[in-house]
């Protein structure tokens, strides 16, 4: 017997705000918006091309508090094809150098406007299918002081939640940082742990890279003023895996 998963219930605190985010910013199709009874409202949305929908709701998902859903993963049909696709045009957005410093302070959030402004200042265009590498300088700062401190899961500079919309709008292939978890920590929301991950991986479906050492690349780009390059980072073809170590290579 074949089984098909058709709907995943996502409990949220604000149905209208969540509906607007998924539909207007991420491009999900609205299947229906129904008030079932007092206190129960169901909005079903489906990502373009997906056989599975999500339901954002109040009053469904007994025992599930808003923001409590975890572990939703994007599955690819062919890991070998996915591996072959991990090569393309890469660009570096060097945020601390753009701001006139060596590194960003822990807790500093990088927003949409700053990503665009940094790209403009560097003379590089973000194009569909790009591998976008964002430098914060945090790893270099830890290495320079000889102390990793709370690098793993502690406070860190990173991408703000709003950049999920920027990633979707730009239609990039991947985004990578030199931090433990890409998004700013402490997280902007207390309803979920690493909420940015919940959107960019299962909902938008892009590759995400963490813990990149970027000093040499950043220094080279600053020297020749060329912030675009060939990026290659094939993953290991491990059946059933949701992540892989890589050995990224840049050619200029």
Contacts of 25 (CB under 8 A, 6+ apart): 164, 165, 168, 169
pTM: 0.70
| CATH classification of the domain holding 47 | 3.10.180.10
Separation of alpha carbons 78 and 85, rounded Å: 11
Q: Whole domain around residue 21: which residue ranges? A: 7-58
87 confidence band (pLDDT: 50, 70, 90): confident
The per-residue pLDDT for 148 is 93
Identify the residue with better confidence: 215 or 75: 215
Q: pLDDT tens digits, residue range 157-176?
A: 999 999 999 999 999 999 99
Q: Is the dihedral of CA 157, 162, 168, 171 positive or negative?
A: negative
| 37 belongs to a structural domain | yes
Separation of alpha carbons 90 and 105, rounded Å: 25
The per-residue pLDDT for 26 is 72
Separation of alpha carbons 234 and 82, rounded Å: 8
Contact 43, 22 (CB under 8 A): no
Q: pLDDT tens digits, residue range 31-76?
A: 888 876 676 778 888 887 777 888 887 666 555 666 666 656 555 5
| 68 belongs to a structural domain | no
Q: pLDDT tens digits, residue range 230-245?
A: 999 988 877 777 788 8
3 state SS of 244:
coil
* 179 and 85 fall within a common domain: yes
| 75 belongs to a structural domain | no
Q: What mean pLDDT do residues 99-123 have?
A: 97
| 67 belongs to a structural domain | no
pLDDT surpassing 90 at residue 116 = yes
Cβ neighbour number for residue 10 with a 10 Å cutoff:
23
Identify the residue with better confidence: 21 or 64: 21
Contact 104, 96 (CB under 8 A): yes
* 110 and 12 fall within a common domain: no
* 53 and 90 fall within a common domain: no
* 132 and 36 fall within a common domain: no
**Residue 227, token pair as written in the block:** 């912030």
| 76 belongs to a structural domain | no
The percentage of residues in the chain with a pLDDT greater than 70, rounded to a whole number, is 85
Q: Which secondary structure element, helix H or strand E, spans residue 222, and what is its range?
A: helix 215-224
Separation of alpha carbons 94 and 141, rounded Å: 15
| 240 belongs to a structural domain | yes
């Amino acid at each position: 017997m074949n089984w098909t998963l058709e709907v995943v219930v996502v409990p949220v605190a604000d149905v209208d705000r969540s509906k607007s985010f998924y539909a207007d910013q991420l491009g999900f199709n609205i299947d229906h918006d129904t008030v079932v009874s007092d206190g129960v409202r169901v909005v079903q949305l489906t990502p373009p091309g997906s056989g599975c929908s999500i339901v954002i709701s109040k009053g469904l998902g007994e025992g599930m508090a808003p923001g409590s859903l975890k572990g939703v993963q994007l599955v690819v049909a062919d890991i070998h094809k996915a591996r072959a696709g991990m090569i393309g045009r890469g660009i570096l957005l060097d945020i601390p150098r753009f701001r006139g410093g060596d590194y960003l302070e822990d807790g500093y959030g990088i927003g949409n406007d700053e990503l665009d402004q940094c790209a403009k200042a560097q003379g590089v265009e973000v194009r569909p299918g790009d591998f976008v590498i964002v430098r914060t300088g945090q790893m270099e700062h830890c290495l320079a002081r000889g102390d990793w401190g709370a690098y793993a899961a502690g406070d860190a500079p990173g991408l703000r939640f709003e950049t999920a919309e920027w990633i979707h709008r730009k239609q990039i292939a991947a985004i990578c940082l030199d931090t433990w978890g890409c998004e700013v920590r402490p997280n902007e929301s207390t309803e979920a742990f690493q909420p940015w991950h919940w959107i960019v991986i299962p909902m938008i479906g892009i590759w995400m890279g963490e813990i990149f050492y970027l000093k040499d690349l950043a220094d080279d780009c600053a020297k020749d003023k060329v912030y675009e390059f060939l990026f290659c980072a094939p993953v290991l073809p491990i059946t059933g895996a949701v992540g892989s170590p890589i050995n990224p290579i840049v050619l200029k």
